[in-house]
């Protein structure tokens, strides 16, 4: 994985020193909150319901064992013994003291991490496929390109005050495991007819109050023009994106209002101009980055077979393991969704354990997924049972990947100052309900996503079943959505009808699941059945 | 009644104006009535508390101050999903007070 060079390290340490001074001046009363707020937000420090919250960037979700250990240490030393992994592959701490924030950033810098650009109207953490470098279906490892984009976008002077925040995802496979088309820019690395690598650009996607699926604006950008084309996309947005209305400031609104064709025309015009300026980083820089992502020392000829005589282990393999491109290896997902648990939360002890398991079993590397789980990307099949035996006692062995219990949920009103309703209690009740009924396996793949407000951090638009919490005259109320997807078949969920209270929405989810079980054809997922039979049978069951 | 709340500058902890200073406990909150803006402005200037603001609340049957909006009740208690981290960790019904 990528290691900081002197330039990276100096940049991060300089920022720590700068923020330490700014924090001191705030604590001394020399800066007002109005003056300090934009400074702390530039370093990922929010003020939430109960305390300051620090969001730490995990570039394209990749962590070394040492970094995961450091995150656990921060949870223990500065927080309340846990952290929350987010839908943008980052981690958040909920109980931060302002006076300790600079020390945390200094600790992060020691393991080549930071919280820069995890807030504000800038280019945020670049996200990617959590199986990158391991997936059998990718045309190349997308991480070197994500890293190049990270370096280009870090402290980019022209794009540090965009009309609104800006999110980029990079993938390299036909199957989209990063919700790529629901980003401001989604990049899919592809091969053309000549076998050359390039990038397909999808621009103007997003969730929030106006969900949109990004249209394809260019099928193939040569990789030696990746940054130049990205710059052109951003420039047109920075020039014409709306700054008069926060709710219409995202690039999706610009692309929608101009039309994809006109937006593309302007990007191409800007692209031609930028090509002449020669702003693309030297190819040698990409080559330098690429050396950091060389294959680990896979052992050839390892056995493919796995002893599945332990039924619980066999079930876990079936659900939580993913095909690896290297024979004898497999990618493992550690579920952070135990029955009745808080999606995405991990204790310091669990983080330490996952760090050790990454070191012992996965070439010192793990990944944060946008579904709030952790992946060990390169595990020998012959060592899988030994690994699983260590997960189980730590509460990390839940076999529920992509099932109804593998719920994405934002922090909701339990933590977030923007939320209208709580998300986590619903996730807990729903996972308990389906665990008790024993229907999870019968339901198969069923992606359930919960947001506590219209900002959609819980990706409710993209859930096969989505739940949106709203404030109804001071009471929590929940809308049910069906038919969303963030995969290769990206679609946006539709609201079923009137909302429900907390108990009502849990019942409603079960009713919708039962409609699927009653009506599905052979091999159909929930989503497939919904698309075939439409909304009406579900509405009939829900509302009579 | 109208009570004043904010977040402590150093720790970020939720605090309530008790008439003299800031308390962690909502039950110490006093009715600031028409003086809400005055006290908020004075305390903002003192830079001990971030952005103090007034909210509506009532005294419940037990005499405890109960903010009118659920968001402020969550702030007053702590996360309902982590009773161990709330201000009433030994009270199994604390979460019900929020709802």
Q: What Cα–Cα distance (Å) separates residue A102 from each residue in A9, A112, A201, A384? A: 16, 15, 38, 40
- What DSSP designation does A380 have? E
Residue contact A50–B9, C-beta within 8 A: no
Looking at the structure, do residues A141 and A286 belong to the same domain, yes or no?
A: yes
Confidence class for position B64, pLDDT limits 50, 70, 90: confident
Asked whether A91 and A374 are in contact (CB, 8 A), the reply is: no
- What DSSP designation does A212 have? B
Q: What residues 79-98 of chain A have any CB closer than 8 A to a CB of chain B?
A: 80, 94-98
Residue contact B47–A32, C-beta within 8 A: yes
Is pLDDT above 80 for A524? yes
Looking at the structure, do residues A19 and A95 belong to the same domain, yes or no?
A: yes
Give residue A491's domain range: 408-543
Contacts of A417 in chain B (CB under 8 A): 71
What DSSP element (H or E) covers A393? none
- Report the chain A residue with the minimal C-alpha distance to residue B11: A97
- Quote the CA–CA distance of A471 and A478 in Å, as a whole number: 9
Residue contact B50–A33, C-beta within 8 A: yes
Nearest C-alpha neighbor of B10 from the set A77, A28, A170: A28
- Distance in Å, alpha carbon of A207 to nearest chain B alpha carbon: 24
Residue B50 forms contact with A (CB below 8 Å): yes
Residue B82 forms contact with A (CB below 8 Å): yes
Residue B66 forms contact with A (CB below 8 Å): no
Looking at the structure, do residues A49 and A164 belong to the same domain, yes or no?
A: no
Instruction: Output the pLDDT for position A304.
Output: 96
Is pLDDT above 80 for A488? no
Length of chain B: 99
A118 located within any domain: no
Question: What secondary structure does DSSP assign to A80-103, as a single string?
Answer: SSEEEE-TTS-EEEEEE-GGGHHH
Instruction: Output the pLDDT for position A165.
Output: 97
Looking at the structure, do residues A207 and A83 belong to the same domain, yes or no?
A: no
Q: What Cα–Cα distance (Å) separates residue B97 from each residue in B6, B78, B90? A: 20, 11, 14
Report the 3 state secondary structure along A9-57. Answer: HHHHHHHHHHHHHHHHHHHCCCCCHHHHHHHHHCCCEEECCCCEEEEEC
Nearest C-alpha neighbor of A455 from the set A82, A92, A164, A37: A164
pTM over 0.95? The answer is yes
Instruction: Convert B58-81 to b/e letters by CB count within 10 Å (16 or more is b).
Output: eeeeeeebbbeebbbbbbbbbbbb
- Report the chain A residue with the minimal C-alpha distance to residue B68: A474
Looking at the structure, do residues A231 and A368 belong to the same domain, yes or no?
A: no
At A490 the three-state DSSP class reads coil
Residue contact A27–B10, C-beta within 8 A: yes
Tokens of A332: 């493992």
Residue A342 forms contact with B (CB below 8 Å): yes
A121 located within any domain: no
- pLDDT tens per residue across span A255-293: 999 999 999 999 999 999 999 999 999 989 999 999 999
Residue contact B12–A98, C-beta within 8 A: yes
Residue A424 forms contact with B (CB below 8 Å): yes
- Choose among B68, B70, B75: nearest Cβ to A50: B75
Looking at the structure, do residues A331 and A258 belong to the same domain, yes or no?
A: no
Looking at the structure, do residues A412 and A389 belong to the same domain, yes or no?
A: no
Based on the structure, what is the number of domains in chain A? Answer: 4
Residue A51 forms contact with B (CB below 8 Å): yes
Residue contact A414–B80, C-beta within 8 A: yes
Tally of CA atoms within 13 A in the half-sphere of A64 that contains its CB: 14
Instruction: Output the pLDDT for position B31.
Output: 96
Chain-wide mean pLDDT for chain A?
97
Question: Helical H runs in chain B?
Answer: 36-46, 70-77, 94-98
- Choose among B7, B68, B81: nearest Cβ to A414: B81
Contacts of A51 in chain B (CB under 8 A): 7, 11-13
Asked whether B81 and A424 are in contact (CB, 8 A), the reply is: yes
Suggest the residue from A46, A411, A414 to mutate for an interface test with chain B (most B CBs closer than 10 A): A414
Q: What Cα–Cα distance (Å) separates residue A178 from each residue in A57, A453, B92? A: 16, 21, 39
- Chain A, chain B: beta-carbon pairs less than 8 Å apart: 70
β B22-23/A216-222 pair status: unpaired
- Distance in Å, alpha carbon of A423 to nearest chain B alpha carbon: 10
- Distance in Å, alpha carbon of A213 to nearest chain B alpha carbon: 32
Asked whether A461 and A181 are in contact (CB, 8 A), the reply is: no
Looking at the structure, do residues A216 and A267 belong to the same domain, yes or no?
A: yes
Residue contact A474–B69, C-beta within 8 A: yes
- Report the chain A residue with the minimal C-alpha distance to residue B70: A474
- Quote the CA–CA distance of A494 and A483 in Å, as a whole number: 6
At B37 the three-state DSSP class reads helix
Looking at the structure, do residues A141 and A275 belong to the same domain, yes or no?
A: yes
Tally of CA atoms within 13 A in the half-sphere of A91 that contains its CB: 29
Residue contact A424–B69, C-beta within 8 A: no
- pLDDT tens per residue across span A223-257: 999 999 999 999 999 999 999 999 999 999 999 99
The CATH code of the domain that includes A490 is 3.30.413.10
Q: What Cα–Cα distance (Å) separates residue A41 from each residue in A47, A468, B7? A: 9, 26, 16
- pLDDT tens per residue across span A106-135: 999 999 999 999 999 999 999 999 999 999
Confidence class for position A430, pLDDT limits 50, 70, 90: very high
Give the mean pLDDT of A181-207: 97
Residue A453 forms contact with B (CB below 8 Å): no
Residue contact A96–B12, C-beta within 8 A: yes
Looking at the structure, do residues A251 and A169 belong to the same domain, yes or no?
A: yes
Residue A422 forms contact with B (CB below 8 Å): yes
Contacts of B13 in chain A (CB under 8 A): 50-51
A126 located within any domain: no
Give the mean pLDDT of A166-189: 97
Tokens of A169: 């995802």
Tally of CA atoms within 13 A in the half-sphere of B6 that contains its CB: 23
Residue contact A414–B10, C-beta within 8 A: no
Residue A32 forms contact with B (CB below 8 Å): yes
Residue B81 forms contact with A (CB below 8 Å): yes
Tokens of B80: 């309902």
Asked whether A333 and A373 are in contact (CB, 8 A), the reply is: yes
- Distance in Å, alpha carbon of A407 to nearest chain B alpha carbon: 16
- Report the chain B residue with the minimal C-alpha distance to residue A474: B69
Tokens of A127: 């996200």
A139 located within any domain: yes
Instruction: Output the pLDDT for position A489.
Output: 87
Report the share of chain A in percent with pLDDT over 70: 100
- Quote the CA–CA distance of A326 and A246 in Å, as a whole number: 47
- Distance in Å, alpha carbon of B41 to nearest chain A alpha carbon: 12
Residue B7 forms contact with A (CB below 8 Å): yes
Looking at the structure, do residues A254 and A192 belong to the same domain, yes or no?
A: yes
| Of A339-343, B22-26, B61-65, the least confident | B61-65
Nearest C-alpha neighbor of A332 from the set A367, A375, A364, A303: A375
Nearest C-alpha neighbor of A462 from the set A109, A250, A177: A177
Residue B11 forms contact with A (CB below 8 Å): yes
Q: What Cα–Cα distance (Å) separates residue A403 from each residue in A407, A450, A505? A: 8, 14, 18
């Amino acid at each position: 994985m990528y290691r900081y060079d002197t330039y990276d390290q100096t940049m991060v340490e300089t920022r720590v020193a700068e923020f330490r001074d700014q924090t001191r001046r705030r604590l001394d009363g020399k800066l007002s909150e109005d003056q300090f707020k934009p400074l702390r937000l530039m370093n990922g420090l929010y003020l939430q319901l109960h305390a300051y919250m620090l969001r730490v960037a995990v570039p394209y979700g990749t962590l070394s064992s040492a970094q995961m250990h450091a995150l656990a240490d921060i949870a223990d030393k500065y927080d309340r013994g846990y952290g929350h992994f987010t839908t943008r592959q980052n981690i958040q701490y909920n109980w931060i003291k302002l006076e300790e924030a600079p020390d945390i950033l200094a600790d992060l810098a020691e393991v080549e991490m930071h919280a820069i650009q995890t807030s504000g109207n800038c280019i945020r953490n670049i996200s990617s496929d959590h199986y990158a470098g391991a997936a059998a279906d990718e045309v190349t490892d997308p991480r070197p390109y994500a890293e190049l984009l990270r370096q280009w976008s870090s402290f980019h002077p022209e794009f540090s005050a965009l009309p609104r925040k800006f999110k980029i995802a990079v993938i390299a496979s036909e199957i989209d495991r990063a919700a790529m088309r629901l980003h401001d820019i989604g990049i899919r690395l592809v091969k053309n007819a000549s076998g050359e690598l390039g990038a397909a650009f999808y621009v103007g996607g997003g969730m929030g109050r106006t969900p949109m699926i990004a249209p394809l604006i260019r099928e193939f950008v040569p990789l030696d023009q990746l940054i130049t084309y990205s710059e052109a996309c951003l420039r047109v947005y920075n020039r014409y994106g709306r700054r008069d209305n926060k709710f219409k400031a995202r690039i999706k609104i610009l692309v929608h209002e101009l039309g994809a064709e006109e937006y593309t025309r302007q990007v191409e015009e800007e692209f031609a101009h930028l090509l002449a300026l020669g702003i693309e980083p030297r190819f040698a820089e990409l080559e330098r980055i690429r050396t950091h992502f060389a294959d680990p020392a896979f052992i050839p000829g390892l056995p493919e077979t796995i002893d599945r005589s332990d039924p619980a282990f066999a079930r876990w393999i079936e659900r939580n393991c993913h095909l690896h491109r290297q024979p004898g290896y497999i990618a493992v997902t550690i579920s952070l969704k135990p029955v009745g648990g808080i999606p995405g939360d991990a204790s310091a002890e669990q983080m330490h354990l996952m760090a050790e398991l990454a070191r012992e079993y996965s070439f010192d590397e793990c990944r944060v997924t946008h579904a709030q789980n952790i992946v060990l990307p390169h595990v020998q099949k012959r060592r899988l049972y030994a690994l699983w035996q260590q997960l189980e006692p730590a509460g990390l062995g839940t076999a529920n990947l992509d099932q109804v219990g593998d719920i994405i949920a934002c922090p909701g009103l339990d933590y977030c100052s923007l939320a209208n309703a709580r998300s986590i209690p619903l996730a807990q009740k729903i996972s308990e309900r389906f665990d008790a009924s024993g229907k999870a396996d019968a339901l198969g793949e069923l992606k359930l996503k919960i947001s506590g407000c219209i900002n959609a951090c819980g990706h409710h638009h993209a859930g096969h079943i989505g739940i949106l919490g709203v404030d109804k005259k001071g009471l929590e109320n929940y809308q049910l959505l069906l038919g969303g997807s963030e995969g290769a078949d990206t679609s946006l969920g539709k609201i079923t009808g009137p909302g429900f209270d907390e108990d009502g929405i849990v019942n409603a989810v079960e009713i919708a699941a039962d409609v699927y079980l009653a009506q599905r054809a052979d091999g159909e997922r929930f989503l497939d059945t919904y698309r075939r039979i439409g909304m009406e049978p579900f509405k009939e069951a829900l509302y009579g | 009644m109208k009570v004043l709340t904010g977040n402590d500058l150093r720790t970020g902890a939720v605090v309530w104006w008790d008439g003299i200073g800031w308390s962690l406990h909502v039950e110490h909150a006093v009715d600031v009535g028409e003086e809400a803006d005055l006290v908020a402005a004075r305390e903002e200037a003192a830079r001990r508390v971030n952005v103090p603001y007034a909210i509506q609340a009532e005294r419940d049957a037990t005499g405890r101050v109960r903010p009118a909006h659920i968001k402020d009740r969550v702030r007053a208690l702590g996360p309902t999903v982590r009773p161990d981290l709330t201000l009433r960790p030994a009270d199994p019904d604390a979460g019900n007070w929020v709802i």
